[in-house]
Amino acid sequence: MRKKSAPFTLLAMLAVGLIAFSFAAFGNPSPEVKSLGSVPCGEEMRGVASEGRVFKLCDGETKVAVQVADSERTGRMSREAAQQVAARLMEEWAKMKQAKSPEAPIVLAHKGEPHTRREMRTWDTELDGAVKEGYRIFHDSSLGTNGISCDMCHPDGKDTHPYTYPKFQTQLKKVALLRDMINWCIENPLEGQKLSDEDSKMKAVEMYILWSNKGEVAVPGKH
Amino acid sequence: MSKRMRGDPGRWGLFVLGLSLLGFLVIFSTAIFRPSSPSVSTASDYPVKVPLGLVDPEVPQENPMTAAKIELGRQLYFDKRLSVDDTVSCATCHDPKKGFADSEKVGIGIQGKLGNRNSPTSLNAALYDLQFWDGRAPSLEEQAKGPIVNPVEMGMPSLDTLAEKLKKIPEYQKAFGEVFEGKMTADNIVKAIAAYERTLLAGDSPFDRYLYGKEENAISPAAKRGLEVFREKGRCVTCHEILSSYALFTDNKFHNVGVGMDKPSPDLGRFLATKEDKDVGAFKTPNLRSVALTAPYMHDGSEATLESVVELYNKGGVPNRHLDGGIRPLNLTEQEKKDLVDFMKSLTSPEVEKIGAPSPSK
Amino acid sequence: MERKFSRREFLEVSAQGAAAAGLASLLDGFGWSGPQSAEAGPEAQPFTFAYISDAHLYEKKLNKRFVRSIEKTVADVNALDPQPDFVLFGGDLAQLGQKGELDLGKEILDGVRAKRVMMVGEHDWYLDMGEHWRELFGPDTYSFDHKGIHCVVLNSVIVEDYWTAPKLSPMERMKAMAQLDNPNGRPFTVGEAQREWLNKDLSAVPLERPIIVFSHSPLYKYYKNWNFWTDDAEQVQAILAPFQRVTVVHAHTHQVLTNRIGTIRFHGVLSTAWPWPYAHKGLPRFTAQQDRADPFDQFDGCGWGTVEVLANGGVNKNYNLWGRKPTKVSYEWLSTVNEATLPDPYEVGPHY
């Protein structure tokens, strides 16, 4: 009797553990993403539910949308949820394109081949890993010698304005790139040693800063 | 001679008419075409020679540069009669032979009276946004008014008194007649002085030839290392700016380095002009060109040498409640300190005492 | 009695320690006859208190920068003439709640001439759940009366337990709480127990008596990701709402921050250690935003301040930003301005 239930309990514990872990690691559980079909651009989407956020994609002719059953109306979704939304949107768009002109191949990638799921997954995991490493260093005081870490003044990479570089950086008295300012901060408020351009830590921090300011319009030279 | 009918002007009449027409035209054209004061003339009436490493100074619309005005300004600058007892001129404390400053801790005026601050150099003063250590004068013109009526400097009872005094001097009557249409007012006096001061630009030093002239050997290896310290570990460049296109060696801001704050009744500096707490003990960042010539240093002349100035900054200034957030101990090595001083010595322009002198080709 | 004043007209430069007399003559200049002309309030005695907050100290051997800042503040506060009635410490004395850090903070604050009122922040609490803080400074929740004002000090950084289950060590818990942008963080609350205590404490207070609540978290909802947020804010505000004159003075946000919800006025205090950028959403319209801090000047965006408590129990809030002109938010302006006339801060303010 015991023999039979032991593997079952083990499995149950594993399952619970996995669920708990994913809660802990990934915040919100994956929300439900529902397709709203497609309409010509300029028309209103049909079938929009009262609760949840709508994400649209328009190629200049036709609009596809998905709706996410997400209680938060605004603000950041979990990475997983956002990926789901993006993937679903692309899927719907590809389907819509196919339906419109079945003979014309969908040009999504280089050499006329669509990206495979494996490829998209590779990019995600690679980029994810790099940004995560940048996040770790950004939040770690070991770049300096006095316990200060970048996130103290720049939570979520805010107030870094990477899209304004190159610009005349007042504190440096010269036209600088983002990494010049990163080094200045490391040497001054963090009282650490500056990093060389080749240092993987420098690149990681840059990656995190650029990633967390995604969507901002590049305005180099902006004061 | 034709018979003149009544009503007919005749030859003489025509002559008088012609003459008056001519006269009218002359007057009319001088009225239209004479250079009028406010908005018409531009700074380029007189091409200011900008030495290597600098930019041209701002010239106010109301005080354009002309050769005659500059010459008048020079006369006034060196004229001891601008003081009440004819003993002190601008050049007394701002002496071309001493880097356009003096070798005293504080300015010494009429009757040996002591001023309260070190005389800043006139060199490149035209490039500051504000004048005086505490920035209370917004222009060179306004600054020139100060010492003239300061009882411990030139001691004139008022600027108008000076104007009256100069009116009695024929050379000035003539000069003002040329430049300001004879209007010898306090404002015109200081305008002339300011115009002259705008020609006192000192650049083209060994440092300038090295950085902007790209002459590799213009400065010594020690000075090159010193430049590196100035820009990096010494943190000097943050306030004493060097840019890629030119170097003013000042950020035109006011900082509290703590000088004098440990004495009873310290000079409160910029606070006296703005009454803002953040400005207590803050003084304007002076430009460092030709600094080797203008000892002693700081607003009270308390540092006798460049070496002692470096020591002051190396230990993090003088601690006081309002010490600037950018000041901190530097931990420079002895070699770095020495190199820094060598660098500062490379900022001396050639033939400083000839700057602003009338050019022989005129 | 509504006039359209621009926010700038009311944010005047004030000399340190401007007394109520100075305020009255200032108000005369704008045509107001004085605070008494606003809604009728009880007669409390006007007084001033100062605040020092968010020192985030590490031990000296690790970090001198934060030590220099708080020592500068203590010197500034001690230089006030006349001295304030008391000095509020707004929380986050230590950075990681360690004994050495708290002891260092107490040593420095012992140099303050005036009486001290201590308030706790999350950085002080979550290493040992407030054990050493209580040893040094007493209870984290209490109230007192001063010159006709009822003052309440809350511990508004209570979060639900998320460390016991995954068996986090005390330092892991502390570091998790110390990270402002921690995506796995939990929102601050006052919590049921304290709300009950607050209710009971206020039940003995007549509704006309002015109340000042000292709280580390803002007691309203500004930006959840950075815990510029109190999750049970509405419930706390409901307890406070019946009172005629309520002001909340809070810390944690490290920025010039002003809000008004119903009749409650909220004023944030500055940090001595470092400034925070404004969140990209949720900033109350009542806040006159500051320009971004200059990273070269280690004191920019930081500072301390004073609060002038008026005869009617309202407050004028002064921010003494080092290196910048002081900023003042007057009771009159905050009470009478029509929120609808204030522009959206994200349209007019500096872009963070």
Please check whether the two domains, B43-201 and B206-345, share a CATH topology: yes
Considering chain B, what is the average pLDDT of its residues? Answer: 89
Contact list in C for residue A148 (CB cut-off 8 A) is: 63, 65
**What per-residue confidence (pLDDT) applies to A215?**
86
pLDDT at A36 over 90: no
CB pairs under 8 A between A and C: 63
**What per-residue confidence (pLDDT) applies to A95?**
79
- pLDDT tens for B141-176 read 999 999 999 999 999 999 999 999 999 999 999 999
Supply C345's token pair.
Answer: 């801060």
What's the CA gap between A123 and A132, in Å, rounded?
14
Supply A73's token pair.
Answer: 């109306």
Supply A144's token pair.
Answer: 């300096």
**What per-residue confidence (pLDDT) applies to B337?**
97
**What per-residue confidence (pLDDT) applies to A79?**
77
Q: Do B244 and A171 touch (CB under 8 A)?
A: no
Amino acid at the residue C179: Q
Contact list in B for residue C297 (CB cut-off 8 A) is: 324-326
Beta-bridged to residue C265, according to DSSP, are: C247, C260
| Mean pLDDT, range A185-212, rounded to an integer | 95
Q: How many CB atoms lie within 10 A of CB B273?
A: 18
Helix A200-212 × helix A117-138 angle, to 10°: 110
Dihedral of CA atoms C173, C269, C81, B325 in degrees, nearest 10, equals 80
* CATH number assigned to the domain comprising residue C282: 3.60.21.10
Cα dihedral sign, B42-B46-B47-B49 = negative
> Which residues touch C113 (CB under 8 Å, ≥6 apart)?
C77, C78, C83
- DSSP run (H or E) holding A58: strand A53-58
Q: Helix, strand, or coil here: B16?
A: helix
Q: Where are the alpha helices (DSSP H) in B34-158?
A: 67-77, 90-93, 140-149
Integer-rounded Cα radius of gyration of chain C: 19
**What per-residue confidence (pLDDT) applies to A32?**
73
| Distance between B241 CA and the closest CA of chain A, angstroms | 7
- All structural domains of chain A with their residue ranges: 30-100, 130-212
Higher pLDDT, A68 or A3: A68
Q: How many CB atoms lie within 10 A of CB C9?
A: 12
What's the CA gap between C160 and C138, in Å, rounded?
23
**What per-residue confidence (pLDDT) applies to A87?**
82
Contact list in C for residue A154 (CB cut-off 8 A) is: 277
**What per-residue confidence (pLDDT) applies to C7?**
44
Q: Are C123 and C97 in contact (CB under 8 A)?
A: yes
Q: Do B324 and C297 touch (CB under 8 A)?
A: yes
pLDDT at C31 over 90: no
Query: A130-212 sits in which CATH class?
Result: mainly alpha
| Mean pLDDT, range A29-40, rounded to an integer | 74
**What per-residue confidence (pLDDT) applies to A23?**
52
Task: Using alpha carbons only, give the angle B157, B162, B163 rounded to the nearest 5 degrees.
Answer: 135
Task: Please check whether the domain covering B43-201 is classified as CATH 3.40.50.720.
Answer: no
| Distance between C176 CA and the closest CA of chain A, angstroms | 11
Contact list in C for residue B325 (CB cut-off 8 A) is: 296-300, 322-323
Beta-bridged to residue A35, according to DSSP, are: A66
**What per-residue confidence (pLDDT) applies to B25?**
57
Q: Do C62 and A154 touch (CB under 8 A)?
A: no
- pLDDT tens for B57-91 read 999 999 999 999 999 999 999 999 999 999 999 99
What are the φ and ψ backbone dihedral angles of A62, each rounded to 5 degrees? -125, 150
What's the CA gap between A149 and C200, in Å, rounded?
42
Lowest pLDDT segment from B42-56, B298-312, C228-242: B42-56
Contact list in B for residue A171 (CB cut-off 8 A) is: 238
pLDDT at B349 over 50: yes
Q: Are C267 and C37 in contact (CB under 8 A)?
A: no
pLDDT at C326 over 60: yes
Residue of chain A whose alpha carbon sits nearest to that of C279: A158
What's the CA gap between C44 and C65, in Å, rounded?
40
What's the CA gap between B322 and B255, in Å, rounded?
9
Q: Is B217 exposed, middle or buried (0-12, 13-18, 19+ CB in 10 A)?
A: exposed
Go through chain C and tell me how many residues it has.
352
Provide the pairing of β-strand B283-284 with B254-255: antiparallel
Provide the pairing of β-strand C149-153 with C221-223: unpaired
Question: Which homologous superfamily does the CATH classification assign to the domain defined by B206-345?
Answer: Cytochrome c-like domain (1.10.760.10)
Q: Which of B277, B321, B325 sits opposite C297 (nearest CB)?
A: B325
Q: Which of B71, B141, B153, B336 is catalytic?
A: B153
**What per-residue confidence (pLDDT) applies to B29?**
52
DSSP single-letter state for residue B240: S
Q: Do B238 and A174 touch (CB under 8 A)?
A: no
Cα dihedral sign, B307-B311-B314-B316 = negative
Q: Does B237 touch chain A (CB under 8 A)?
A: yes
Considering chain C, what is the average pLDDT of its residues? Answer: 88
Q: Are B119 and B101 in contact (CB under 8 A)?
A: yes
What is the distance of C-alpha A55 from the center of its chain?
16
SS (H, E, C) B82-104: HCCCCCCCHHHHCEHHHCCECCC
Shortest CA distance to B57 belongs to which of B43, B41, B68? Answer: B43
Q: ipTM of this model?
A: 0.83
Q: Where are the alpha helices (DSSP H) in chain A?
A: 2-26, 79-100, 117-138, 150-153, 178-187, 200-212
Q: Do B325 and C76 touch (CB under 8 A)?
A: no
Q: Which of B211, B228, B230, B238 to mutate to test the interface with A (most CBs of A within 10 A)?
A: B238
Shortest CA distance to A188 belongs to which of C297, B314, B321, C303? Answer: C297
What are the φ and ψ backbone dihedral angles of B93, each rounded to 5 degrees? -100, -15
The single residue listed with the structure tokens 């006329």 is A112
pLDDT at C249 over 70: yes
**What per-residue confidence (pLDDT) applies to A61?**
78
pLDDT band at A66 (very low <50, low <70, confident <90, very high): confident
Q: What is the number of structural domains in chain C? A: 1
Dihedral of CA atoms A53, A54, A55, A61 in degrees, nearest 10, equals -170
**What per-residue confidence (pLDDT) applies to B23?**
58
pLDDT band at A21 (very low <50, low <70, confident <90, very high): low
What is the distance of C-alpha A25 from the center of its chain?
15
Q: Do A174 and B243 touch (CB under 8 A)?
A: yes
- pLDDT tens for A119-158 read 888 888 889 899 999 999 999 999 999 999 999 999 999 9
Q: Are B288 and B344 in contact (CB under 8 A)?
A: yes
Residue of chain C whose alpha carbon sits nearest to that of A187: C296
Q: Is C77 exposed, middle or buried (0-12, 13-18, 19+ CB in 10 A)?
A: buried
Q: Which of B243, B248, B253, B331 to mutate to test the interface with A (most CBs of A within 10 A)?
A: B243
**What per-residue confidence (pLDDT) applies to A104?**
58
pLDDT at B41 over 50: no
pTM of the model: 0.76
Q: Do B237 and A175 touch (CB under 8 A)?
A: no
| Distance between A201 CA and the closest CA of chain C, angstroms | 20
Q: Do B243 and A171 touch (CB under 8 A)?
A: no
What's the CA gap between C155 and C122, in Å, rounded?
9
| Distance between A214 CA and the closest CA of chain B, angstroms | 31
Q: Helix, strand, or coil here: A98?
A: helix
Supply A27's token pair.
Answer: 């915040």
Supply B268's token pair.
Answer: 């409160």
- All structural domains of chain B with their residue ranges: 43-201, 206-345
pLDDT at B35 over 90: no
What are the φ and ψ backbone dihedral angles of A45, each rounded to 5 degrees? -65, 145
DSSP single-letter state for residue A67: E
pLDDT band at A173 (very low <50, low <70, confident <90, very high): confident
Provide the pairing of β-strand C246-250 with C258-261: unpaired
- DSSP run (H or E) holding C122: helix C122-125
**What per-residue confidence (pLDDT) applies to C5?**
39
Higher pLDDT, A142 or A171: A142
- DSSP run (H or E) holding B206: helix B206-211
Shortest CA distance to A85 belongs to which of A110, A115, A65? Answer: A65
C11 inside domain: no
Q: Which of C299, C300, C325 sits opposite B276 (nearest CB)?
A: C325
Provide the pairing of β-strand C142-146 with C149-153: antiparallel
Q: Do B277 and C320 touch (CB under 8 A)?
A: yes
- DSSP run (H or E) holding C8: helix C7-10
| Residue C196, domain extent | 47-338
**What per-residue confidence (pLDDT) applies to C208?**
93
Contact list in A for residue B242 (CB cut-off 8 A) is: 173
What's the CA gap between C235 and B22, in Å, rounded?
94
B153 is catalytic: yes
Considering chain A, what is the average pLDDT of its residues? Answer: 81
Q: Do C15 and B275 touch (CB under 8 A)?
A: yes
pLDDT at C71 over 80: yes
- DSSP run (H or E) holding C213: strand C211-215
Shortest CA distance to B111 belongs to which of B97, B92, B98? Answer: B92
> Which residues touch C76 (CB under 8 Å, ≥6 apart)?
B321, C304, C320
Q: Are B193 and B90 in contact (CB under 8 A)?
A: yes
Question: What residues of chain A, 76 to 105, have a C-beta less than 8 Å from chain C?
Answer: 76
**What per-residue confidence (pLDDT) applies to C56?**
98
Amino acid at the residue C294: D
What's the CA gap between A56 and A36, in Å, rounded?
9
